[in-house]
């Protein structure tokens, strides 16, 4: 089967499931998108790596990368290999000096590792046909515009960042980083950068 390369183009709250996120993968040379619902911890792990943040202690996926590096295991690629009853199945394709091994993985974990290793993400045509969305040509964003966390501000759950001063934003940013809430930190950092 021919593999189709994908890239992460967006990470946002899931509109279909509460307390979940959606990572949107896009065809590198096409207009189709593949949205995948993932959990909050995995979304945070992906966001941390995409934004090149350095947590004070290694996250689980950082630990896995360190472990693989220590034993000379290279993550060559990940393949979103199957879709059954709305659940995506993925494989980590790993190389050592002596062997190539495919390891079964949750798709969210595979994506978090792919971002850390900088390896390609692939899927197959039948998966894009069944679960993909065709985007209009005019709505295609550049990677720089699309990558990041789109977190809507809601009353009660998060302060209205636009109403805060730069000093208040910086204090809040330090606080959320201390509590390792990296997804929220990205939204605060983006608000600070908009004002500079």
Tokens found for residue 98: 């002596």
Weakly modelled stretches of the chain, pLDDT under 50: 138-158
Backbone angles phi, psi at 180, to 5 degrees: 60, 35
Residues 121 and 25 in one domain: yes
Residues 57 and 141 in one domain: yes
Residue recorded with tokens 């065709």 = 134
Residues 91 and 108 in one domain: yes
Backbone angles phi, psi at 132, to 5 degrees: -80, 160
Residues 69 and 107 in one domain: yes
Q: Facing residues of 121 across strands?
A: 6, 78
Helices (H), the chain: 40-50, 60-70, 107-117, 125-131, 143-146, 166-178, 182-195
Alpha-carbon distance 71 to 117, whole Å? 15
Tokens found for residue 93: 């394709």
Backbone angles phi, psi at 159, to 5 degrees: -65, 155
pLDDT score of 60: 93
Please give the C-alpha separations between residue 25 and each of 31, 64, 120, 132, in angstroms, as whole numbers. Answer: 11, 23, 12, 9
Alpha-carbon distance 36 to 8, whole Å? 11
pLDDT score of 73: 96
Among 150, 167, 188, give the residue marking a domain's end.
150
pLDDT score of 191: 81
pLDDT score of 90: 98
Residues 133 and 62 in one domain: yes
> Who contacts 173 (Cβ-Cβ below 8 Å, separation ≥6)?
185, 188, 189, 192
Domain count, the chain: 2
Domain that holds residue 182: 155-196
């Amino acid at each position: 089967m021919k593999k189709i390369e994908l890239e992460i183009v967006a990470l946002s709250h899931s509109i279909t499931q509460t307390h979940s996120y959606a990572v949107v993968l896009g065809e590198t040379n096409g207009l189709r998108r593949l949205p995948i619902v993932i959990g909050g911890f995995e979304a945070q792990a992906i966001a941390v790596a995409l934004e090149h943040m350095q947590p004070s202690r290694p996250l689980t996926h950082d630990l896995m990368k360190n472990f693989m590096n220590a034993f000379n295991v290279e993550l060559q690629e990940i393949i979103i290999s199957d879709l059954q009853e709305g659940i995506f199945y993925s494989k980590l394709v790993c190389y050592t000096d002596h062997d190539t091994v495919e390891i079964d993985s949750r798709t969210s974990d595979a994506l978090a590792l792919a971002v850390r290793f900088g390896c390609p993400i692939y899927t197959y045509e039948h998966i894009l046909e069944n679960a993909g969305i065709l985007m209009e040509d005019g709505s295609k964003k550049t990677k720089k515009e699309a990558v990041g966390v789109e977190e809507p501000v809601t009353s009660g759950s998060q302060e209205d960042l636009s109403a805060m001063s730069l000093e208040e934003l910086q204090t809040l940013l330090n606080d959320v980083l201390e509590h390792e809430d990296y997804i929220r930190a990205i939204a605060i950092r983006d608000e600070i950068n908009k004002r500079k």
